[in-house]
Amino acid sequence: METKVIPHIELFTDGGAEPNPGKGGFGVILSHKGRQKEFFEGYELTTNNRMELMAVIVGLEKIKTKAKVTVYSDSKYVVDGIEKGWAENWERNNWIKKKGNLVLNKDLWERLLNVIDEHDVTFNWVKGHAGHIENERCDVLATKGINSENKITDEGYLEYLEHIDWYQEQKIEKEGDTCRKCNTAVIKKSPKKRKIKPGQNYYYEYYLFCPNCKVMYMVEDAKREVSDDNTLF
């Protein structure tokens, strides 16, 4: 039985907004066996990070068969978000960060994780504006998107703007606030006594804890400067 060969494709991306937030655009190059295809798109109102994410998403979605894809991006936000496992952790925690803050650009991170599952994808960071041929070309394409006449509405960003007060207000700050993951009232707990680590300048006297789903929230009001006795408390 003949084994199907999985193609190896290189995906080069760049995105930006002018100003940030402002008019946005992204550029994509797909390269396979010396042949390249280019894509770009513009958006009426968006952010740098959303365009960097969208560039990778659209590039991967253009690939219609399972492939081994190497992504090259100058966005640490995107590369580290995947390679360091941040996005997967956010997804497991219902898109809530450790300190209780909501993850921005959830809609695009979800879309990116879904399309990554369809391929074998690795991410590589490249320094922007440093002479990398494909990265420079993607920057040109992104600028074309920004300056294009028929720009798209970034619905996800508009939804964020409509609920920005809610995003800013949804912080876990005190005992009795409801957990973002399961809506159970959080309680105050104190960590066990432990030694100071080298270079540690502060510690948390207490943390807020959800007794139902076990999520822990670190809050600014609990932050204390390290004393001179080399113990936290």
Alpha-carbon distances of 35 from 30, 116, 136, rounded to whole Å: 8, 22, 18
Q: How far apart are CA 59 and CA 40, in angstroms?
A: 10
Please give the pLDDT value at position 231: 46
Please give the pLDDT value at position 230: 47
Please give the pLDDT value at position 233: 39
What is the set of active-site residues?
14-15, 52, 74, 129, 139
**Nearest CA to 11 among 64, 68, 59, 49?**
59
Annotated binding site for Mg(2+): which residue ranges?
Answer: 14, 52, 74, 139
Per-residue pLDDT of the chain (233 residues; tens, 9 = 90+): 456 789 999 999 999 999 999 999 999 999 999 999 999 999 999 999 999 999 999 999 999 999 999 999 999 999 999 999 999 999 988 888 766 678 899 999 999 999 999 999 999 999 998 999 999 999 999 999 999 999 999 999 998 888 776 565 566 778 888 776 666 788 888 877 666 667 777 777 888 888 877 777 777 788 888 765 544 33
Provide Rg for the chain, Cα atoms: 22
Q: How far apart are CA 171 and CA 162, in angstroms?
A: 18
Please give the pLDDT value at position 195: 65
| β-strands 35-46, 187-189 pairing | unpaired
**Nearest CA to 27 among 39, 35, 11?**
39
Annotated binding site: which residue ranges?
Answer: 14, 52, 74, 139
Q: How far apart are CA 65 and CA 143, in angstroms?
A: 29
Please give the pLDDT value at position 214: 75
Query: Domains in the chain, start-ordered, CATH in brackets?
Result: 8-164 (3.30.420.10), 172-233 (no CATH)
Helix axis angle for 48-61 and 106-116, nearest 10°, is 30
pTM attached to this predicted model: 0.74
Please give the pLDDT value at position 64: 93
- Backbone φ, ψ for residue 128 (5° rounding): -75, 150
